[in-house]
């Protein structure tokens, strides 16, 4: 850590331990009343601005609070406008609050505009900047996990730069269900979203129902995430600085056994398969006592691998302000994360400028510009067949503790594939540099009162440069002799770019006629995407100190290049109608034309409609108004599309390079068609019906609930064709899918004296199934997965395990399992004869669950007491299955394979009450990698303490004396605790079928600082 960052770190720690003593203060009393009826307001909030100090009025509206003489008091109450009053030494301050629809009048960002929360008729969830602050997450995706009902985010990788979770909104489908991301009006991707500095975000709106999302048409089938960054505000420039310093460690690592137990269990597995033991009791004792570490070692390969410092830091500086004419928001940020393994690192440099200028009373312009540079590094393997970092992970998980890390002569201990430690310490590298520029410029011209013309131009330019070098390694035996031949060093340099340009024009009209309020939006856009890739490869470098392509010989060199582009033209519109603030109607429509489809099927129309009834505004509801201040019923329907399917040219017969052929005795390069196409394919279509309810009641509760049915039709799938067709099978329409479920979110907030709290819980209950699968409805089976009508896509599929055979008589009495293995014996798993035909074979397999959770939930607890604040955020999933196999579960072997603690309770003639079947080497009847069963496919439900924070804010008087407006120090922890019945050494969110190739998720403990000048 540099001296500068050390100073920042120590200052953060020092301020966290700072003890507060009071300055000159005064006790203020008074009464708070409502202006609409001049009655006192019990339960109104009274707080000292800029601090966590607050109070609440009693049953008569009276309050008492101690405040600095020069402080400012903030008075607020649900349904009334907040007031700020300077104390100026006064001891009595009586306040009358004007009536308002506070909270309900909050503005929510929707597609191509904003709406008041009270007028929303669709299912839109909002995540505020406060929910994202101070969490040590590397991307916005992971910060959203568990915050919104109906949004399923799975985070299963903790490697720096590769830890973004996957997003599903309201279920899944047979093809891609990625959400559309829109950032400050620019169509973007989840990659763009994770490149944003979270401190730059003002709010995130998630459009979940089809009526809300239909304005985005053919890309909205997976829902829409609309991100709005912070804009400038009029007034003196406000400078904010924040930082945090954190330390990472793995949430869970494989629980591998030491070498003496590995040798013992290996012998046991050999005996189970009719072979003789390899190790004597004396040899096993030597492994155990460590008396001969080179010939009988106990190598902790995971300790050698996970030896990175795991340090991360984040710094952010923002300036916000403006005049009556121009406002600005400028920020820069820096993030740096070292992984828990050496040579894994990512950094992120961000810069953003948001500028708004009022040129004339009826004309304003804006410019929103951002730039991100993100370098990333990771090790490489020297295994010719697979040189990726996942192979490094695999080999560290695979190599036996019986293999020494180093021989006595200092050379690397190794197996046939080499030494993963040698790979890690070698000059090999994979360096990636991502550059992302995004900009949007436009204006707002009010032609006549209420009629606005808003042209804009959106632009993105993303590039990625990758440099990959694999060094040559020569291995030696323990006696110093050569072991094999070295691999050939090689390097690959690649470059890719993506250019996006989209002119857009909006016309908005807003008119109020008596009780009637009408808003109309019409728009058009043209989008163009261009992609370019270039790659070069050379091998046989003179030595491992050289890695540039131009210093390697040309023999064996290869190059590749690809270009492709897609375009889309769209026309869209929306109309909103509001009568007396009681009856709300909205209609949306979009007409999209995409270059991905043949001319006859290029255009698609996507309509949506929704309605809302504010029951609480009816005359008959007046008597309930004090108890239920807001009650709104919603209903919506819409149709969405999905164009992100089957590549960029699914209806055009393209040719591919590399189709070489002999000519004149020489092999020459050629191009030829390789993929079949069906020009008649059309959009995938998703229709969704939603019924919802919003309510505020008892002055402290807020409830949102929705029920939805989401049906996807014309789903594309690849047909099965005979081999003589000669091309890969084309995609055709013909499948359908359904998701349906409930979503609910409930918030409780209250205050008692200096103590205030807020509790928000959310949950979604989703079931999904295939409703049609091609023309024949034939199931699609691949390994442990099946996709069939009536079940979720990619469901787990296998045998039902009923226990473990205890004796030979039990084996003979049970249905014949020789169809699985002729070696079935006591200690093996018992499989259920599902069809009752007296034998166990493939026809006895059944659906065993799904990796997509039926229930997801989140619970956010917030509490404030004087200068202290506390937050605990729990997140989890239920009704979800997962399984592990191979080296993640553990294996028995000499050079490769090491057992885990699960195998300690394996069945043997002396341990018949075991929880694990008898050990194996080559037998397959119990192996989860080949014989899938309910014994291995297990409940992976979990509850996780996703984030916990404890903060302390310096009193306003103290902050002023040191020249700042606000100063807060805090501790934050991410992924702190996990409760699950899944394997203790495997994270329950691990990829389905985890087999030891993946980087573990990490927990992060950090200390941070927020300062406002």
Residue 97: both structure tokens together: 């609050």
Please enumerate in sequence order all residues whose Cβ is within 8 A of that of 766, keeping only pairs 6 or more positions apart, or say none.
150, 152, 170, 171, 739, 740, 741, 852, 853, 854, 855, 856
Return the DSSP state at 453.
Answer: E
pLDDT at 88: 85
What 3-state DSSP class applies to 747?
Answer: strand
Quote the Cα angle for 384-386-389, to 5°.
Answer: 125
Average pLDDT (745-756) is 88
- Which residue did the predictor score with more confidence, 178 or 857? 857
DSSP line for 497-534: EEEEEEEEEEEEEEEEETTEEEEEEEEEEEEEEEEEEE
Residues 350-357 have a mean pLDDT of 96
Mean of per-residue pLDDT scores for the chain: 90
Put simply, whether the predicted model's pTM sits higher than 0.75 gets the answer: yes
Q: How many CB atoms lie within 10 A of CB 307?
A: 12
Rounded to the nearest angstrom, the gap between the alpha carbon of residue 457 and the centroid of all alpha carbons in its chain is 29
- In Å, how far from its chain's centre is CA 432? 21
CATH architecture entry for 103-258+298-645+683-713+734-771+858-886+937-1012: Beta Barrel (2.40)
Q: How far apart are the first and last CA of the chain?
A: 26
**pLDDT(50) > 80:** no
Judge whether 730 and 676 are in contact, CB under 8 Å. Answer: yes
Residue 134 has pLDDT above 70, yes or no: no
pLDDT for residue 176: 75
Q: What is the pLDDT of residue 309?
A: 94
Output the pLDDT for position 776: 87
pLDDT digits (tens, 9 = 90+) for 624-644: 988 999 999 999 999 998 887
Q: Give residues with Cβ within 8 angstroms of 705, minimum separation 6.
A: 692, 693, 742, 743, 744, 745
Model confidence at 436: pLDDT above 90: yes
Mean pLDDT of 511-529: 95
pLDDT (tens digit per residue) in 211-255: 999 999 988 888 999 999 999 988 888 999 999 999 999 999 999
DSSP classification of residue 652: S
Roughly what angle, to the nearest 10 degrees, separates helices 281-289 and 259-272? Answer: 150
Give dist(CA 888, CA 394) in Å, integer: 9
Give the C-alpha separation, 519 to 542, whole Å.
Answer: 71
Task: Give pLDDT, residue 3.
Answer: 45
Select the more confidently predicted residue: 19 or 983. 983
Place of tokens 């994270």: 987
Q: Please state which of the ranges 4-8, 408-412, 748-752, 943-947 shows the lowest mean pLDDT.
A: 4-8
Residue 254 · residue 397 · CB < 8 Å:
yes
pLDDT range class, residue 30, cuts 50, 70, 90: very high
Q: Would you say residue 441 has pLDDT above 90?
A: yes
pLDDT tens readout for residues 761-789 = 999 999 999 999 988 899 999 999 999 99
Q: Assess whether pLDDT exceeds 50 at residue 5.
A: no
Cβ atoms of 265 and 906 within 8 Å: the answer is yes
Beta-carbon contacts of residue 386 (< 8 Å; ≥ 6 apart):
none
For CA atoms 88, 89, 90, 96, give the dihedral sign. Answer: positive
**Degrees to nearest 5, angle at CA 36 with 32 and 37:** 75
Contact between 60 and 42 under an 8 Å Cβ cutoff? The reply is yes
Residue 249 tokens read as: 């460690």
For 842, half-sphere exposure in the C-beta direction (CA atoms, 13 angstrom radius) is 6
Looking at mean pLDDT, say which of 16-25, 186-195, 393-402 comes out highest: 393-402
As given in the structure block, the two tokens for residue 636 are 């919506």
Q: Rounded distance, CA 791 to CA 994, Å?
A: 22
List pLDDT tens digits, range 358-379.
999 999 999 999 999 999 999 9
Name the β-bridge partners of 837: none
On whether the CB atoms of residues 880 and 941 are closer than 8 A, the answer is: yes
**Are the CB atoms for 689 and 211 separated by under 8 Å?**
no
CA atoms within 13 A on the CB side of 760: 15
pLDDT given for residue 717 in this prediction: 81
Nearest CA to 15 out of 804, 1004, 954 is that of 954
Domain boundaries, the chain: 25-97, 103-258+298-645+683-713+734-771+858-886+937-1012, 801-844
Whole-angstrom Cα distance, residue 554 to residue 541?
Answer: 10
Residue 1, pLDDT above cutoff 80: no
| Confidence (pLDDT) at 528 | 96
CB 785 within 8 A of CB 993: no
User: Rounded CA gap, 818 and 811, in Å?
Assistant: 11
Judge contact between 346 and 433, C-beta under 8 A.
no
pLDDT band for position 9 (cuts 50, 70, 90): very low
pLDDT band at 104 (very low <50, low <70, confident <90, very high): low
Across 317-329, average pLDDT: 93
- Calculate ∠ Cα 353-355-437, nearest 5°: 35
At residue 907, does pLDDT exceed 90? yes
> DSSP code of 590?
E
120-159 exposure pattern, b = at least 16 Cβ within 10 A, e = fewer: bbbbbbbbebebbbbbbbbbbbbbbbbbbbbbbbbbbbbb
**pLDDT bracket for residue 802 (50, 70, 90):** very high
Cα(840)–Cα(435) distance, integer angstroms: 56
Question: What pLDDT shows up at residue 103?
Answer: 55
- Label residue 981 exposed, middle or buried (CB < 10 Å: 0-12, 13-18, 19+): exposed
Percent of the chain with pLDDT over 70: 96
Q: Which of 153-157, 829-833, 857-861, 988-992 has the lowest mean pLDDT?
A: 153-157
Distance set, CA 58 to CA 30, 73, 84, 752, 1013 (Å): 11, 17, 20, 10, 35
Three-state DSSP class for 1003? strand
Q: What's the confidence (pLDDT) of residue 55?
A: 82
For 958, the enclosing helix (H) or strand (E) is helix 956-961
At residue 476, the pLDDT reads: 96
Mean pLDDT for 690-714 is 94
CB 994, CB 986: distance < 8 Å: yes
For residue 8, is pLDDT > 60?
no
Q: Any alpha helices (H) in 256-310, and if so which ranges?
A: 259-272, 281-289, 301-305
Distance, in Å, from the CA atom of 705 to the CA atom of 693, rounded to the nearest integer, reads 5
Phi, psi of 621 (to 5 degrees): -95, 0
Question: pLDDT tier at 647 (50, 70, 90 boundaries)?
Answer: confident
Q: Note the CATH number of domain 25-97.
A: 2.60.40.1120
Over residues 568-591, the pLDDT tens digits come to: 999 999 999 999 989 999 999 999
**Which pLDDT band holds residue 14 (cuts at 50, 70, 90)?**
very low
Q: Is the pLDDT of residue 654 over 70?
A: yes
CA distance 511 to 522: 15
Distance CA(568)–CA(593), nearest Å, equals 6
The torsion angle over the Cα atoms of residues 618, 623, 628 and 630, rounded to 10 degrees, is 20
Is pLDDT of 101 > 50? no
Assess whether pLDDT exceeds 90 at residue 853: yes
Report whether 883 contacts 937 (CB < 8 A). Answer: yes
Q: Is the pLDDT of residue 174 over 70?
A: yes
Q: Report the pLDDT averaged over residues 389-393.
A: 95
Share above pLDDT 90 across residues of the chain, in percent, rounded to a whole number: 67
pLDDT band at residue 4 using 50, 70 and 90 as cut-offs: very low
At residue 183, the pLDDT reads 93
Q: Given this model, what pLDDT does residue 69 score?
A: 82
- Give the tens place of pLDDT for each residue, 557-571: 999 999 989 999 999
pLDDT at residue 272 greater than cutoff 90:
yes
Cα 206 from Cα 128, distance rounded (Å):
11
Q: pLDDT digit string (tens) for 606-628?
A: 999 999 999 999 999 989 988 99
Helices (H) and strands (E) in the chain, counts: 12, 52
Q: Is 155 helix (H, G, I), strand (E, B) or coil?
A: coil
pLDDT digits (tens, 9 = 90+) for 941-986: 999 999 999 999 988 888 888 888 889 999 999 999 999 999 888 8
User: Greatest CA separation found in the chain?
Assistant: 103
């Amino acid at each position: 850590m540099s001296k500068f960052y050390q100073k920042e770190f120590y200052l953060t720690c020092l301020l966290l331990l700072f003890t507060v003593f009071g300055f000159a203060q005064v006790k203020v009393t008074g009464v708070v009343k409502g202006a609409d009826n001049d009655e006192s307001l019990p339960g109104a909030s009274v707080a000292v601005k800029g601090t966590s100090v607050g109070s609440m009025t009693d049953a008569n509206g009276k309050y008492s609070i101690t405040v600095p003489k020069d402080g400012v008091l903030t008075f607020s109450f649900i349904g009334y406008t907040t007031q700020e009053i300077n104390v100026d030494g006064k001891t009595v301050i009586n306040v009358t609050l004007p009536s308002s629809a506070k909270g309900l009048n909050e503005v929510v960002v929707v597609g191509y505009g904003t709406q008041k929360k009270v007028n929303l008729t669709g299912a839109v969830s909002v995540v505020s900047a406060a929910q994202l602050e101070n969490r040590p997450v590397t991307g916005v995706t992971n910060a959203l996990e568990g915050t919104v009902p109906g949004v399923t985010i799975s985070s299963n990788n903790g490697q720096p730069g590769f830890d973004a979770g996957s997003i599903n909104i309201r279920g899944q489908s047979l093809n891609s269900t990625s959400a559309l991301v829109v950032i400050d009006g620019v169509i973007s991707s989840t990659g763009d979203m994770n490149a944003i500095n979270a401190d730059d975000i003002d709010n995130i709106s998630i459009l979940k129902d089809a009526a809300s999302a239909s304005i985005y048409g053919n890309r909205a089938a997976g829902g829409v995430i609309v991100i709005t960054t912070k804009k400038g505000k009029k007034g003196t420039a406000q400078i904010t600085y924040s930082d945090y310093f954190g330390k990472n460690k793995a949430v869970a690592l494989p629980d591998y056994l030491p070498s003496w137990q590995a040798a013992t269990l290996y012998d046991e597995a050999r005996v189970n398969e009719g072979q003789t033991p390899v190790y004597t009791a004396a040899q096993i004792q030597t492994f155990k006592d460590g008396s001969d570490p080179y010939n009988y070692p106990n190598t902790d390969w995971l300790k050698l691998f996970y030896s990175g410092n795991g340090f991360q830091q984040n710094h952010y500086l923002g300036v916000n302000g403006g005049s009556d004419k121009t406002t600005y928001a400028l920020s820069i940020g820096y993030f740096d994360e070292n992984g828990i393994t050496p040579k894994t690192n990512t950094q992120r440099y961000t810069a953003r400028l948001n500028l708004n200028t009022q040129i004339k009373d009826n004309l304003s312009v804006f410019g929103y510009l951002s730039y991100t540079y993100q370098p990333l590094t990771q090790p490489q393997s020297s295994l010719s067949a697979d040189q990726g970092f996942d192979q490094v992970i695999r080999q560290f998980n695979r190599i036996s503790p019986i293999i020494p890390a180093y021989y006595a002569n200092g050379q690397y201990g190794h197996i046939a594939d080499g030494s993963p430690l040698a790979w890690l310490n070698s000059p090999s590298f994979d360096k990636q540099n991502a550059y992302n520029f995004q900009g949007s410029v436009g204006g707002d011209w009010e032609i006549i009162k209420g009629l606005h013309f808003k042209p804009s131009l959106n632009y993105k330019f993303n590039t990625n440069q990758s440099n990959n070098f694999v060094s040559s390694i020569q291995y030696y035996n323990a006696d110093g002799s050569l072991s094999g031949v070295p691999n050939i060093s090689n390097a690959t340099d690649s470059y890719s770019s993506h250019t996006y340009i989209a002119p857009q024009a909006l016309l908005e009209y807003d008119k109020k006629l008596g009780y009637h309020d009408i808003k109309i939006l019409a728009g058009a856009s043209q989008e163009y995407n261009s992609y370019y890739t270039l790659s070069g490869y050379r091998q046989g470098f003179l030595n491992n100190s050289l890695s540039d392509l131009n210093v390697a010989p040309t023999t064996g060199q290869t190059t590749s290049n690809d270009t492709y582009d897609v375009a889309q033209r769209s026309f869209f519109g929306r109309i909103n109608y509001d009568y007396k603030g009681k009856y709300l109607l909205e209609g949306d429509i979009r007409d999209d034309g995409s270059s991905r489809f043949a001319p006859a099927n290029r255009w698609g129309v996507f309509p949506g409609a929704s309605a809302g009834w504010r029951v609480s505004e009816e005359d008959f509801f007046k008597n309930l108004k004090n108890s239920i201040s807001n009650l709104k019923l919603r209903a919506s329907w819409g149709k969405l599309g999905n164009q992100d399917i089957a590549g960029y040219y699914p209806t055009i017969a393209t040719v591919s390079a590399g189709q070489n052929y002999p000519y004149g005795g020489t092999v020459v390069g050629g191009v030829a068609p390789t993929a079949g196409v069906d020009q008649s394919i059309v959009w995938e279509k998703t229709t969704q019906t939603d019924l919802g309810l919003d309510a505020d009641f008892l002055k402290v509760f807020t409830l949102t609930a929705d029920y939805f049915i989401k049906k996807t039709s014309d789903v594309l799938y690849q047909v099965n064709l005979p081999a003589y067709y000669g091309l890969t099978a084309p995609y055709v329409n013909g499948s359908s899918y359904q998701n349906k479920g409930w979503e609910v979110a409930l918030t409780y907030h209250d205050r008692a004296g200096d103590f205030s709290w807020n509790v928000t819980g959310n949950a979604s209950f989703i079931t999904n199934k295939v409703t049609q699968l091609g023309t024949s409805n034939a199931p699609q089976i691949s390994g442990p997965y099946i996709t069939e009508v009536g079940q979720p896509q990619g469901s787990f599929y296998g045998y039902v395990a009923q226990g473990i055979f205890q004796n030979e008589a039990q084996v003979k009495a049970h249905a014949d399992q020789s169809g699985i293995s002729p070696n079935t014996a006591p200690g093996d798993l018992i499989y259920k004869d599902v069809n009752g035909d007296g034998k166990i074979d493939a026809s006895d397999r059944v659906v065993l669950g799904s990796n997509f959770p039926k229930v997801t939930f989140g619970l956010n607890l917030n509490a404030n007491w004087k200068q202290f604040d506390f937050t605990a955020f729990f997140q989890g999933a239920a009704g979800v299955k997962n399984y592990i196999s191979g080296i993640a579960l553990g294996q028995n072997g000499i050079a490769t394979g090491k057992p885990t603690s699960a195998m300690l309770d394996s069945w043997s003639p002396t341990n018949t009450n075991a929880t694990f079947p008898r050990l194996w080497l080559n037998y397959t009847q119990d192996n989860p990698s080949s014989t899938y069963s309910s014994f291995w496919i297990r409940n992976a439900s979990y509850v996780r303490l996703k984030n916990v924070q404890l903060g302390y804010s310096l009193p306003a008087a103290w902050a002023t004396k040191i020249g700042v407006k606000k100063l807060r120090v805090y501790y934050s922890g991410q992924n702190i605790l996990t409760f699950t019945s899944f394997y203790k050494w495997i994270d329950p969110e691990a990829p389905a079928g985890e087999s030891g190739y993946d980087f573990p998720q990490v927990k992060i403990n950090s200390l941070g600082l927020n300062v406002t000048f």
